[in-house]
Amino acid sequence: MEPGGLEWLLVPMQQLVSWGAAGAMVFGGVVPYIPQYRDIRRTQNADGFSSYVCLVLLVANILRILFWFGRRFESPLLWQSIIMIMTMLLMLKLCTEVRVSNELNVKRRSFAAADSKDEEIKAPPKRSYLDFDLNYFWHWSKFTDYVQCILTFTGVTGYITYLWLDSSLFVETLGFFAVFTEAMLGVPQLYRNYQNRSTEGMSIKMVLMWTSGDTFKTVYFILNQAPFQFSICGLLQVFVDIAILLQVYLYSHYPQKPVSHTAHPASTKAL
């Protein structure tokens, strides 16, 4: 058979592989959160999931979308950010509903001031518009408060990006902050394991999923010549995942001390 005779087969195969890689890139990042979502719905307990994970991923992916307007990168990476934002909003909605349903006689905490019918009479009148009490930041009582906060952040950063879109330095810095924020997502989990000298309660399966997903993502960045920020921060993210796996090995084979803390079922990268 002539060498060119296989072209009719190789070209479609290459196209299928390309589509498969793009699809995995778009949806692969949300896969680890599907069992977490189902587990929270089943148990009606969101203690094992930190809502700060949603905050970090929302900020990172909003900044990545804004970066796209300054430097057009691969479309799958853009769609990945859109899908991740939708996923994190769904996670926030479920976690907020579950947490509030489990709280009794708790004063409504909000990002923006609510109507008088929603607030307790004892609410301080000086909080007329925004409640920026850091003790309750990102621990609000309604999903709409999170949406308001995200919309405010998007509006402010979007306006700033619009004003500085012609500055290559600003655009490149924006891209770096977008991917660096996401790359640091596993660091708090790494630090908490170090503090507790244990990984008890942490799902090893989930860490393996993070590692395989982050490795695939980084290889995809490199092969598709994505902006250098993606490749560098992707490698950093893989190193953090490997460090957590090393902690699993170290603390299971060489216990540092008797575990006296309450087990934290950290089935996601937690802050």
* pLDDT of 203: 63
Is the pLDDT higher at 153 or at 263?
153
| CA atoms 94, 203, 84, 114: torsion sign | positive
pLDDT in tens, 170-194: 998 998 898 888 888 777 778 777 8
Q: How far apart are CA 60 and CA 67, in angstroms?
A: 10
The answer to whether residue 226 scores a pLDDT higher than 60 is yes
The answer to whether residue 152 scores a pLDDT higher than 90 is yes
- Tell me the average pLDDT of the chain: 77
Contact 49, 267 (CB under 8 A): yes
The answer to whether residue 71 scores a pLDDT higher than 80 is yes
Region 99-113: what's the mean pLDDT? 67
| CA atoms 41, 81, 173, 183: torsion sign | positive
The answer to whether residue 150 scores a pLDDT higher than 90 is yes
* pLDDT of 257: 58
The answer to whether residue 164 scores a pLDDT higher than 90 is yes
Q: How far apart are CA 268 and CA 271, in angstroms?
A: 9
Report residue 182 as tokens.
């996401």
- Region class of 105: left (phi > 0), else alpha (psi between -120 and 50), else beta: left
The answer to whether residue 114 scores a pLDDT higher than 60 is no
Region 59-63: what's the mean pLDDT? 94
Helix pair angle (143-164, 51-70), 10° resolution: 30
The answer to whether residue 264 scores a pLDDT higher than 50 is no
The answer to whether residue 26 scores a pLDDT higher than 70 is yes
Region 5-22: what's the mean pLDDT? 68
* pLDDT of 112: 62
